């Protein structure tokens, strides 16, 4: 099973000298990028899970409704919100969608699992930082879903052969043919592969002059759209099933 997920958060990079960028403009870029992702998913009839950054949920309600109406899962991405802020956002979005928010993803700031269970989350999908050296580390970790404190803990996926993780940077940088083979090999040994991408990776960096490291600027924007389309075509051609995380876990 392929679990395709997207982190919906504003790009944090500074702009280059001579350019300005307001918070509203950053939000609009995030929204436009997400709608581009939705179009690609719709073309290939693939469902995914969208982890929306907690602090943006109030500002992106129309986008969240569009994501949900197309059959995708809405979950939360916590980048620095406290427990009360997460609780409030969860209540508001559940009222908006008339659906339960089951999942949450964290990276640098992690709310204790017992607190997340208290808020009636069902699963946690934590991720690591992905820098230029991270993909080349030899990684050893459990890749099976476990249960702790009443929560399903979904680990990041790692290729059993190359030991590369399925993070945003690896998808961005690897040739698609190699990535496709990596997915095939992983699913021969594991029950699922969890892939995550960031909405900011679909930004046109020629139009928006953000100051990001060179290695992070490669193959973004339209090239990311094409690459995502190529991956989804590959999955459909091979009749490989893709699932929203909440459906697979429960």
* Span 93-149, pLDDT tens digits: 999 999 999 999 998 888 999 999 999 999 999 998 655 455 445 455 567 899 998
**CA pair distance 107, 95, nearest whole angstrom:** 26
Q: Which range among 11-25, 33-47, 102-116, 156-170 shows the weakest confidence by mean pLDDT?
A: 11-25
Confidence of residue 79 (pLDDT cuts 50, 70, 90): very high
Q: Mean pLDDT throughout 210-227? A: 88
Q: Mean pLDDT throughout 73-96? A: 97
**What pLDDT sits at residue 128?**
80
Q: What is the pLDDT of residues 179-214, one digit of tens each?
A: 999 999 999 999 999 999 999 999 998 888 888 887
Q: Which range among 58-67, 155-164, 179-188 shows the weakest confidence by mean pLDDT?
A: 155-164
**What pLDDT sits at residue 67?**
98
Domain that holds residue 135: 2-249
**What pLDDT sits at residue 134?**
52
**What pLDDT sits at residue 112?**
93
State percent of the chain over pLDDT 70. Answer: 94
Q: Label residue 83 exposed, middle or buried (CB < 10 Å: 0-12, 13-18, 19+).
A: middle
CA–centroid distance for 115 within its chain: 23
- Residue for token pair 């050893």: 140
For residues 209, 223, 2, 51, the Cα torsion angle rounded to the nearest 10 degrees is 20
**CA pair distance 149, 119, nearest whole angstrom:** 13
**What pLDDT sits at residue 142?**
66
CA–centroid distance for 169 within its chain: 12
**What pLDDT sits at residue 138?**
47
Q: Which range among 70-74, 132-136, 142-146, 152-156 shows the weakest confidence by mean pLDDT?
A: 132-136
Q: What is the residue-wise DSSP string for 49-115?
A: EEEEEGGGTTTTHHHHHHHHHTTPEEEEEESS--HHHHHHHHHHHHHHHTS---EEEESSS---HHH
CATH number at residue 151: 3.20.20.370
Q: How many domains does the chain have?
A: 1
- Edge to edge, the sheet with strand 193-198 lists 146-148, 151-153, 123-124, 103-106, 73-78, 49-53, 2-8, 193-198
**What pLDDT sits at residue 116?**
96
Q: Mean pLDDT throughout 31-39? A: 98
First to last CA, the chain: 14
- Residue for token pair 């998913």: 41
């Amino acid at each position: 099973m392929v679990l395709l997920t997207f982190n919906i958060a504003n790009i944090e990079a500074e702009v280059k000298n001579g350019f300005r960028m307001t918070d509203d403009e950053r939000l609009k870029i995030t929204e436009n990028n997400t709608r581009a992702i939705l179009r690609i998913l719709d073309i290939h009839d693939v469902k995914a899970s969208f982890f929306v950054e907690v602090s943006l949920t109030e500002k992106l309600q129309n986008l969240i409704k569009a994501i949900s109406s197309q059959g995708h899962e809405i979950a939360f991405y916590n980048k620095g919100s406290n427990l009360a802020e997460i609780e409030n956002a969860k209540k508001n979005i559940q009222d908006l969608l008339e659906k339960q928010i089951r999942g949450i993803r964290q990276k640098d700031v992690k709310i204790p699992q017992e607190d997340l269970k208290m808020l009636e989350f069902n699963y946690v999908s934590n991720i690591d930082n992905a820098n230029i050296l991270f993909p080349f580390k030899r990684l050893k970790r459990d890749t099976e879903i476990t249960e702790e404190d009443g929560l399903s803990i979904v680990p990041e996926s790692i290729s059993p052969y190359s030991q590369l993780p399925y993070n945003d940077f690896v998808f961005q940088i690897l040739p698609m043919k190699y990535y496709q083979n990596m997915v095939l090999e992983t699913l021969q040994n594991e029950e699922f592969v969890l892939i995550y991408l960031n909405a900011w990776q679909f930004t046109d960096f020629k139009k928006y002059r953000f100051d990001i490291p060179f290695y992070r600027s490669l193959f973004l924007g339209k090239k990311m759209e094409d690459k995502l389309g190529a991956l989804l075509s590959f999955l459909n051609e091979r009749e490989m099933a893709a699932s929203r995380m909440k459906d697979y876990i429960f």
